[in-house]
Amino acid sequence: MRTTDPPASPLCREVRDRRGRVYRVGERDADLLGRARIWMAVLPWAGMAGISWAGAACLAARPGALRVWVLAQAAVAFPAGRLRESGRLPAGRAVTAGALGVLAACGALTGLPGPALADGARLAVAGAMGGAGAGLVAAVCLTLPGRWYPERRGGPAGWVVSGCAAGAVPSLLGLRPAGLAVTGAGACLAVAAAGRLLRDPPRDWWPPHPCPLRVPADPLARRVLVRNPPAVRQHTPGEAARSPVLWLTGLCLLGAAAVVVLDLRLPVPPAPAGLAAGGAAVAAAGAVSDLVGRRATLVAACLVLAAAQFVLAAGTARPPLVAGVAVGLAGGAVLALVTAMTADHFGENHSASVHGLLAAAWALPVLCAPAVRTPHGALLPAGCAGLLCAALALFLKAPGRLSARRVLPNPHPLGEEMA
Protein backbone atom coordinates (compact mmCIF):
# COMPACT_ATOMS: atom_id res chain seq x y z
CA MET A 1 0.00 0.00 0.00
CA ARG A 2 1.34 3.45 -0.91
CA THR A 3 1.43 6.39 1.45
CA THR A 4 -1.51 7.93 -0.41
CA ASP A 5 -3.77 5.00 0.49
CA PRO A 6 -6.05 5.40 3.51
CA PRO A 7 -6.20 2.57 6.04
CA ALA A 8 -8.20 -0.36 4.74
CA SER A 9 -11.74 -0.45 6.09
CA PRO A 10 -13.60 -3.65 7.04
CA LEU A 11 -15.64 -3.27 3.85
CA CYS A 12 -12.58 -3.14 1.60
CA ARG A 13 -11.41 -6.23 -0.27
CA GLU A 14 -9.30 -6.93 -3.33
CA VAL A 15 -10.62 -9.04 -6.19
CA ARG A 16 -8.97 -10.21 -9.40
CA ASP A 17 -10.46 -10.63 -12.83
CA ARG A 18 -9.58 -13.44 -15.20
CA ARG A 19 -6.54 -11.51 -16.49
CA GLY A 20 -5.17 -10.99 -12.98
CA ARG A 21 -5.95 -7.29 -12.66
CA VAL A 22 -6.64 -6.24 -9.05
CA TYR A 23 -9.65 -4.13 -8.06
CA ARG A 24 -10.12 -2.64 -4.60
CA VAL A 25 -13.88 -2.75 -4.04
CA GLY A 26 -16.32 -2.24 -1.20
CA GLU A 27 -15.48 1.34 -0.22
CA ARG A 28 -17.85 4.11 -1.22
CA ASP A 29 -16.66 7.54 -2.25
CA ALA A 30 -18.33 8.99 0.85
CA ASP A 31 -16.29 6.61 3.02
CA LEU A 32 -13.04 7.92 1.54
CA LEU A 33 -13.86 11.60 1.04
CA GLY A 34 -16.61 12.37 3.48
CA ARG A 35 -18.56 13.75 0.52
CA ALA A 36 -19.75 12.62 -2.92
CA ARG A 37 -17.11 12.06 -5.57
CA ILE A 38 -18.78 14.65 -7.81
CA TRP A 39 -16.62 17.14 -5.96
CA MET A 40 -13.56 15.49 -7.48
CA ALA A 41 -14.86 16.65 -10.87
CA VAL A 42 -16.22 20.06 -9.81
CA LEU A 43 -13.07 21.18 -7.98
CA PRO A 44 -10.68 20.12 -10.80
CA TRP A 45 -12.92 22.04 -13.22
CA ALA A 46 -12.53 25.11 -11.02
CA GLY A 47 -8.78 24.48 -10.95
CA MET A 48 -8.48 24.29 -14.73
CA ALA A 49 -10.77 27.29 -15.25
CA GLY A 50 -8.91 29.42 -12.74
CA ILE A 51 -5.43 28.52 -13.91
CA SER A 52 -6.40 29.04 -17.57
CA TRP A 53 -7.84 32.45 -16.74
CA ALA A 54 -4.75 33.43 -14.73
CA GLY A 55 -2.36 32.12 -17.39
CA ALA A 56 -4.18 33.97 -20.16
CA ALA A 57 -4.15 37.16 -18.08
CA CYS A 58 -0.40 36.89 -17.43
CA LEU A 59 0.48 36.14 -21.04
CA ALA A 60 -1.80 38.89 -22.34
CA ALA A 61 0.21 41.33 -20.24
CA ARG A 62 3.57 39.89 -21.35
CA PRO A 63 3.29 37.76 -24.53
CA GLY A 64 7.07 37.36 -24.58
CA ALA A 65 6.85 34.85 -21.72
CA LEU A 66 4.73 32.40 -23.72
CA ARG A 67 7.50 30.07 -24.93
CA VAL A 68 9.20 29.81 -21.52
CA TRP A 69 5.79 29.28 -19.90
CA VAL A 70 4.81 26.45 -22.23
CA LEU A 71 8.21 24.77 -22.00
CA ALA A 72 8.14 24.80 -18.19
CA GLN A 73 4.54 23.55 -18.10
CA ALA A 74 5.38 20.59 -20.32
CA ALA A 75 8.63 19.82 -18.48
CA VAL A 76 6.98 19.56 -15.07
CA ALA A 77 4.15 17.22 -16.14
CA PHE A 78 6.01 13.89 -15.91
CA PRO A 79 7.97 14.58 -12.67
CA ALA A 80 4.79 15.85 -11.03
CA GLY A 81 2.99 12.65 -12.01
CA ARG A 82 5.76 10.50 -10.57
CA LEU A 83 5.80 12.44 -7.31
CA ARG A 84 2.03 12.13 -7.00
CA GLU A 85 2.07 8.38 -7.56
CA SER A 86 4.84 7.88 -5.01
CA GLY A 87 2.83 9.71 -2.36
CA ARG A 88 5.38 12.50 -1.87
CA LEU A 89 3.17 15.11 -3.54
CA PRO A 90 -0.55 14.76 -2.67
CA ALA A 91 -3.06 16.20 -5.08
CA GLY A 92 -4.17 19.04 -2.81
CA ARG A 93 -0.65 20.14 -2.03
CA ALA A 94 0.36 20.07 -5.71
CA VAL A 95 -2.56 22.26 -6.82
CA THR A 96 -2.07 24.74 -3.99
CA ALA A 97 1.66 25.05 -4.69
CA GLY A 98 1.03 25.41 -8.41
CA ALA A 99 -1.56 28.14 -7.89
CA LEU A 100 0.79 30.10 -5.64
CA GLY A 101 3.53 29.78 -8.26
CA VAL A 102 1.25 31.23 -10.92
CA LEU A 103 0.22 33.97 -8.49
CA ALA A 104 3.86 34.99 -8.04
CA ALA A 105 4.34 34.91 -11.82
CA CYS A 106 1.29 37.14 -12.33
CA GLY A 107 2.72 39.69 -9.94
CA ALA A 108 6.07 39.69 -11.73
CA LEU A 109 4.70 39.75 -15.27
CA THR A 110 2.13 42.49 -14.72
CA GLY A 111 4.36 44.71 -12.56
CA LEU A 112 6.15 47.84 -13.66
CA PRO A 113 8.94 47.24 -16.21
CA GLY A 114 12.50 47.75 -15.08
CA PRO A 115 15.79 48.04 -17.04
CA ALA A 116 16.04 45.98 -20.22
CA LEU A 117 18.40 43.32 -18.85
CA ALA A 118 16.63 42.91 -15.54
CA ASP A 119 13.28 42.91 -17.30
CA GLY A 120 14.38 40.12 -19.65
CA ALA A 121 15.66 38.00 -16.77
CA ARG A 122 12.50 38.64 -14.80
CA LEU A 123 10.43 37.68 -17.83
CA ALA A 124 12.21 34.33 -18.12
CA VAL A 125 12.09 33.53 -14.40
CA ALA A 126 8.46 34.55 -14.04
CA GLY A 127 7.49 32.62 -17.17
CA ALA A 128 9.23 29.50 -15.89
CA MET A 129 7.62 29.86 -12.46
CA GLY A 130 4.17 30.40 -13.92
CA GLY A 131 4.50 27.55 -16.39
CA ALA A 132 5.70 25.13 -13.71
CA GLY A 133 2.82 26.15 -11.45
CA ALA A 134 0.29 25.73 -14.26
CA GLY A 135 1.82 22.35 -15.06
CA LEU A 136 1.34 21.18 -11.48
CA VAL A 137 -2.31 22.20 -11.51
CA ALA A 138 -2.97 20.60 -14.91
CA ALA A 139 -1.18 17.37 -13.95
CA VAL A 140 -3.61 16.91 -11.08
CA CYS A 141 -6.85 18.34 -12.44
CA LEU A 142 -6.76 16.55 -15.79
CA THR A 143 -6.14 13.07 -14.38
CA LEU A 144 -7.83 13.09 -10.96
CA PRO A 145 -11.46 12.74 -12.18
CA GLY A 146 -10.58 9.65 -14.20
CA ARG A 147 -9.31 7.94 -11.05
CA TRP A 148 -12.52 8.68 -9.16
CA TYR A 149 -14.71 7.64 -12.11
CA PRO A 150 -12.94 4.56 -13.51
CA GLU A 151 -16.19 3.06 -14.79
CA ARG A 152 -17.23 6.16 -16.85
CA ARG A 153 -14.43 8.67 -17.00
CA GLY A 154 -15.30 10.31 -20.32
CA GLY A 155 -17.91 12.72 -18.99
CA PRO A 156 -15.83 13.95 -16.01
CA ALA A 157 -12.71 14.29 -18.20
CA GLY A 158 -14.59 16.35 -20.76
CA TRP A 159 -16.13 18.48 -18.03
CA VAL A 160 -12.72 19.33 -16.54
CA VAL A 161 -11.14 20.10 -19.92
CA SER A 162 -14.05 22.43 -20.68
CA GLY A 163 -12.74 24.62 -17.87
CA CYS A 164 -9.89 25.62 -20.18
CA ALA A 165 -12.43 27.74 -22.09
CA ALA A 166 -12.18 30.27 -19.26
CA GLY A 167 -8.80 31.25 -20.69
CA ALA A 168 -10.58 33.01 -23.54
CA VAL A 169 -12.49 35.31 -21.17
CA PRO A 170 -9.74 37.91 -20.49
CA SER A 171 -9.41 38.60 -24.22
CA LEU A 172 -13.18 39.10 -24.47
CA LEU A 173 -13.21 41.62 -21.60
CA GLY A 174 -10.39 43.76 -23.02
CA LEU A 175 -8.86 44.42 -19.60
CA ARG A 176 -5.87 46.70 -19.04
CA PRO A 177 -2.68 45.39 -17.35
CA ALA A 178 -3.90 46.40 -13.90
CA GLY A 179 -7.19 44.60 -14.45
CA LEU A 180 -5.36 41.54 -15.78
CA ALA A 181 -3.18 41.46 -12.67
CA VAL A 182 -6.14 41.69 -10.30
CA THR A 183 -8.28 39.07 -12.06
CA GLY A 184 -5.30 36.72 -12.49
CA ALA A 185 -4.44 36.97 -8.80
CA GLY A 186 -8.04 36.35 -7.81
CA ALA A 187 -8.21 33.26 -10.03
CA CYS A 188 -5.01 31.89 -8.49
CA LEU A 189 -6.35 32.32 -4.96
CA ALA A 190 -9.56 30.52 -5.94
CA VAL A 191 -7.53 27.62 -7.39
CA ALA A 192 -5.42 27.39 -4.23
CA ALA A 193 -8.58 27.25 -2.09
CA ALA A 194 -10.11 24.54 -4.29
CA GLY A 195 -6.89 22.53 -4.27
CA ARG A 196 -6.95 22.09 -0.49
CA LEU A 197 -10.01 19.81 -0.84
CA LEU A 198 -8.63 17.49 -3.52
CA ARG A 199 -7.80 13.87 -2.62
CA ASP A 200 -6.45 10.90 -4.55
CA PRO A 201 -8.33 7.59 -4.31
CA PRO A 202 -6.51 4.45 -3.14
CA ARG A 203 -4.63 2.48 -5.74
CA ASP A 204 -6.83 0.07 -7.73
CA TRP A 205 -9.98 1.64 -6.25
CA TRP A 206 -13.28 0.76 -7.95
CA PRO A 207 -16.74 1.96 -6.86
CA PRO A 208 -19.13 -0.61 -5.36
CA HIS A 209 -21.33 -0.50 -8.46
CA PRO A 210 -21.02 -1.83 -11.06
CA CYS A 211 -19.02 -4.88 -10.04
CA PRO A 212 -15.88 -5.15 -12.21
CA LEU A 213 -16.16 -8.97 -12.36
CA ARG A 214 -19.74 -9.21 -13.62
CA VAL A 215 -21.70 -7.89 -16.56
CA PRO A 216 -23.79 -4.98 -15.21
CA ALA A 217 -27.54 -5.52 -15.14
CA ASP A 218 -28.18 -1.86 -15.96
CA PRO A 219 -28.21 -1.48 -19.78
CA LEU A 220 -26.53 1.95 -19.65
CA ALA A 221 -23.69 0.80 -17.38
CA ARG A 222 -23.27 -2.32 -19.50
CA ARG A 223 -22.99 -0.24 -22.68
CA VAL A 224 -20.40 2.08 -21.15
CA LEU A 225 -18.16 -0.79 -20.03
CA VAL A 226 -18.53 -2.63 -23.34
CA ARG A 227 -17.64 0.46 -25.35
CA ASN A 228 -14.78 1.48 -23.02
CA PRO A 229 -13.49 -1.59 -21.16
CA PRO A 230 -10.95 -0.98 -18.37
CA ALA A 231 -7.25 -1.54 -18.98
CA VAL A 232 -6.05 -5.14 -19.04
CA ARG A 233 -3.57 -4.32 -16.26
CA GLN A 234 -1.82 -1.40 -14.61
CA HIS A 235 1.12 -0.34 -16.79
CA THR A 236 4.12 1.53 -15.43
CA PRO A 237 5.40 4.56 -17.38
CA GLY A 238 8.27 2.47 -18.75
CA GLU A 239 5.91 -0.22 -19.99
CA ALA A 240 3.64 2.39 -21.53
CA ALA A 241 6.58 4.07 -23.28
CA ARG A 242 7.48 0.77 -24.93
CA SER A 243 3.97 0.37 -26.32
CA PRO A 244 3.26 1.63 -29.87
CA VAL A 245 -0.18 2.70 -28.66
CA LEU A 246 1.32 5.51 -26.58
CA TRP A 247 3.31 6.84 -29.53
CA LEU A 248 0.28 6.73 -31.82
CA THR A 249 -1.71 8.59 -29.16
CA GLY A 250 1.04 11.20 -28.94
CA LEU A 251 1.07 11.68 -32.71
CA CYS A 252 -2.69 12.13 -32.74
CA LEU A 253 -2.48 14.74 -29.97
CA LEU A 254 0.46 16.44 -31.70
CA GLY A 255 -1.41 16.79 -34.98
CA ALA A 256 -4.56 18.15 -33.35
CA ALA A 257 -2.60 20.66 -31.25
CA ALA A 258 -0.67 21.84 -34.31
CA VAL A 259 -3.91 22.48 -36.19
CA VAL A 260 -5.43 24.46 -33.30
CA VAL A 261 -2.28 26.56 -32.86
CA LEU A 262 -2.20 27.24 -36.60
CA ASP A 263 -5.78 28.52 -36.52
CA LEU A 264 -4.91 30.89 -33.67
CA ARG A 265 -2.14 32.41 -35.83
CA LEU A 266 -4.41 33.24 -38.75
CA PRO A 267 -4.63 36.93 -39.76
CA VAL A 268 -8.28 36.75 -38.64
CA PRO A 269 -8.21 34.02 -35.97
CA PRO A 270 -11.37 32.25 -34.82
CA ALA A 271 -13.38 34.43 -32.48
CA PRO A 272 -12.52 33.98 -28.78
CA ALA A 273 -16.25 33.70 -28.06
CA GLY A 274 -16.43 30.78 -30.47
CA LEU A 275 -13.45 29.08 -28.85
CA ALA A 276 -15.06 29.51 -25.43
CA ALA A 277 -18.37 28.12 -26.69
CA GLY A 278 -16.61 25.17 -28.31
CA GLY A 279 -14.66 24.49 -25.13
CA ALA A 280 -17.88 24.46 -23.13
CA ALA A 281 -19.28 21.81 -25.49
CA VAL A 282 -16.32 19.51 -24.77
CA ALA A 283 -18.11 18.21 -21.68
CA ALA A 284 -20.86 16.84 -23.90
CA ALA A 285 -18.28 15.19 -26.17
CA GLY A 286 -16.77 13.40 -23.17
CA ALA A 287 -20.17 12.11 -22.09
CA VAL A 288 -20.90 10.94 -25.64
CA SER A 289 -17.63 9.00 -25.64
CA ASP A 290 -18.89 6.96 -22.69
CA LEU A 291 -21.82 5.76 -24.77
CA VAL A 292 -20.39 5.35 -28.28
CA GLY A 293 -16.76 4.61 -27.40
CA ARG A 294 -13.68 6.75 -26.85
CA ARG A 295 -12.02 5.77 -30.12
CA ALA A 296 -15.07 6.49 -32.30
CA THR A 297 -15.55 9.89 -30.66
CA LEU A 298 -11.87 10.74 -31.15
CA VAL A 299 -12.12 9.89 -34.84
CA ALA A 300 -15.17 12.14 -35.15
CA ALA A 301 -13.42 15.02 -33.35
CA CYS A 302 -10.41 14.79 -35.68
CA LEU A 303 -12.71 14.78 -38.71
CA VAL A 304 -14.49 17.92 -37.43
CA LEU A 305 -11.12 19.59 -36.94
CA ALA A 306 -10.05 18.66 -40.46
CA ALA A 307 -13.33 19.87 -41.97
CA ALA A 308 -12.94 23.23 -40.21
CA GLN A 309 -9.55 23.71 -41.92
CA PHE A 310 -10.98 23.08 -45.36
CA VAL A 311 -13.82 25.51 -44.65
CA LEU A 312 -11.38 28.17 -43.46
CA ALA A 313 -9.18 27.62 -46.53
CA ALA A 314 -12.19 28.14 -48.79
CA GLY A 315 -12.95 31.41 -47.03
CA THR A 316 -16.53 30.39 -46.28
CA ALA A 317 -16.33 30.50 -42.48
CA ARG A 318 -18.82 33.31 -41.88
CA PRO A 319 -19.04 34.40 -39.18
CA PRO A 320 -15.71 33.47 -37.48
CA LEU A 321 -17.76 32.41 -34.46
CA VAL A 322 -18.76 29.22 -36.31
CA ALA A 323 -15.15 28.31 -37.06
CA GLY A 324 -14.19 29.10 -33.47
CA VAL A 325 -16.86 26.76 -32.11
CA ALA A 326 -15.70 23.94 -34.41
CA VAL A 327 -12.01 24.42 -33.58
CA GLY A 328 -12.63 24.81 -29.84
CA LEU A 329 -14.92 21.80 -29.69
CA ALA A 330 -12.69 19.50 -31.70
CA GLY A 331 -9.40 20.60 -30.12
CA GLY A 332 -10.74 20.38 -26.58
CA ALA A 333 -12.42 17.05 -27.29
CA VAL A 334 -9.14 15.56 -28.49
CA LEU A 335 -7.41 16.60 -25.23
CA ALA A 336 -10.25 15.23 -23.09
CA LEU A 337 -10.46 11.96 -25.00
CA VAL A 338 -6.70 11.41 -24.96
CA THR A 339 -6.70 12.04 -21.20
CA ALA A 340 -9.45 9.46 -20.68
CA MET A 341 -7.96 6.97 -23.14
CA THR A 342 -4.61 7.07 -21.35
CA ALA A 343 -6.27 5.56 -18.28
CA ASP A 344 -8.43 3.26 -20.42
CA HIS A 345 -5.34 1.81 -22.09
CA PHE A 346 -2.72 1.82 -19.33
CA GLY A 347 -4.67 1.88 -16.06
CA GLU A 348 -5.37 4.51 -13.43
CA ASN A 349 -2.49 3.96 -10.99
CA HIS A 350 0.11 5.63 -13.24
CA SER A 351 -2.19 7.73 -15.40
CA ALA A 352 -0.64 11.03 -14.24
CA SER A 353 2.91 10.11 -15.24
CA VAL A 354 1.85 8.37 -18.44
CA HIS A 355 -0.15 11.44 -19.38
CA GLY A 356 2.93 13.50 -18.56
CA LEU A 357 4.82 11.62 -21.26
CA LEU A 358 2.36 13.10 -23.77
CA ALA A 359 2.84 16.70 -22.59
CA ALA A 360 5.42 17.47 -25.28
CA ALA A 361 2.86 16.59 -27.96
CA TRP A 362 0.83 19.75 -27.30
CA ALA A 363 3.76 21.93 -26.22
CA LEU A 364 5.82 21.43 -29.40
CA PRO A 365 3.34 23.17 -31.76
CA VAL A 366 3.17 26.20 -29.45
CA LEU A 367 6.97 26.48 -29.40
CA CYS A 368 7.25 26.12 -33.18
CA ALA A 369 4.31 28.40 -34.05
CA PRO A 370 6.41 31.56 -34.71
CA ALA A 371 8.21 29.74 -37.54
CA VAL A 372 4.96 29.59 -39.57
CA ARG A 373 5.08 32.68 -41.79
CA THR A 374 1.99 32.11 -43.92
CA PRO A 375 -0.60 30.36 -41.72
CA HIS A 376 -3.37 30.79 -44.30
CA GLY A 377 -1.39 28.83 -46.88
CA ALA A 378 -0.97 25.97 -44.40
CA LEU A 379 -4.70 25.40 -43.92
CA LEU A 380 -4.97 22.68 -46.58
CA PRO A 381 -2.01 20.71 -45.13
CA ALA A 382 -3.57 21.23 -41.70
CA GLY A 383 -6.82 19.70 -42.94
CA CYS A 384 -4.87 16.72 -44.25
CA ALA A 385 -3.16 16.46 -40.86
CA GLY A 386 -6.57 16.28 -39.22
CA LEU A 387 -7.54 13.43 -41.53
CA LEU A 388 -4.28 11.67 -40.67
CA CYS A 389 -5.05 12.04 -36.96
CA ALA A 390 -8.45 10.45 -37.55
CA ALA A 391 -6.76 7.54 -39.35
CA LEU A 392 -4.25 7.10 -36.49
CA ALA A 393 -7.08 7.07 -33.96
CA LEU A 394 -8.52 3.97 -35.63
CA PHE A 395 -5.49 1.97 -34.42
CA LEU A 396 -5.70 2.98 -30.76
CA LYS A 397 -6.48 -0.11 -28.71
CA ALA A 398 -5.54 -1.07 -25.17
CA PRO A 399 -2.31 -3.12 -25.07
CA GLY A 400 -2.94 -6.79 -24.32
CA ARG A 401 -6.61 -6.84 -25.28
CA LEU A 402 -7.52 -9.21 -28.10
CA SER A 403 -10.35 -8.30 -30.44
CA ALA A 404 -13.22 -10.71 -30.92
CA ARG A 405 -12.06 -11.40 -34.47
CA ARG A 406 -8.76 -12.80 -33.20
CA VAL A 407 -10.33 -15.25 -30.75
CA LEU A 408 -10.37 -18.58 -32.63
CA PRO A 409 -12.74 -21.41 -31.71
CA ASN A 410 -11.32 -24.66 -30.41
CA PRO A 411 -10.97 -27.00 -33.44
CA HIS A 412 -11.39 -29.99 -31.10
CA PRO A 413 -14.28 -29.36 -28.71
CA LEU A 414 -14.29 -31.22 -25.44
CA GLY A 415 -16.93 -33.72 -26.59
CA GLU A 416 -14.95 -34.67 -29.72
CA GLU A 417 -11.70 -35.07 -27.78
CA MET A 418 -13.30 -37.41 -25.26
CA ALA A 419 -14.99 -39.36 -28.00
pLDDT, tens digit, 9 for 90 and up, residues 344-376: 999 999 999 999 999 989 899 988 877 676 767
Give the mean pLDDT of 219-223. Answer: 89
The CATH number that applies at residue 304 is 1.20.1250.20
Which residues are registered as beta bridge partners of 16? 22
Q: Is residue 220 part of a domain?
A: no
- pLDDT for 107: 83
The CATH number that applies at residue 190 is 1.20.1250
- pLDDT for 139: 93
Instruction: Flag whether pLDDT at 394 surpasses 90.
Output: yes
DSSP H helices, 142-243, are: 144-148, 154-161, 169-173, 177-195, 219-227, 237-241
Task: Specify whether 168 is located in the same domain as 291.
Answer: no
**How buried is 376 (Cβ within 10 angstroms: 0-12 exposed, 13-18 middle, 19+ buried)?**
middle
Q: Is residue 209 part of a domain?
A: no
Instruction: Flag whether pLDDT at 57 surpasses 90.
Output: no
**51, 189 contact by CB (below 8 A):** no
Structural domains in the chain (count): 2
Instruction: Flag whether pLDDT at 177 surpasses 50.
Output: yes
Over residues 236-248, the pLDDT tens digits come to 999 999 999 999 9
Question: Of all residues in the chain, what percent carry a pLDDT higher than 70?
Answer: 89
Task: Specify whether 46 is located in the same domain as 140.
Answer: yes
- pLDDT for 408: 45
Task: Specify whether 121 is located in the same domain as 240.
Answer: no
Query: Under DSSP, is residue 15 helix (H, G, I), strand (E, B) or coil?
Result: strand
Give the mean pLDDT of 309-326. Answer: 76
- pLDDT for 7: 55
Give the structural domain span for 145: 26-195
Sign of CA pseudo-dihedral 332, 334, 337, 338:
negative
Give the mean pLDDT of 156-162. Answer: 94
Task: Specify whether 186 is located in the same domain as 308.
Answer: no
The pTM of the full predicted model, rounded to 2 decimals, is 0.88
- Rounded to the nearest integer, the mean pLDDT of the chain is 85
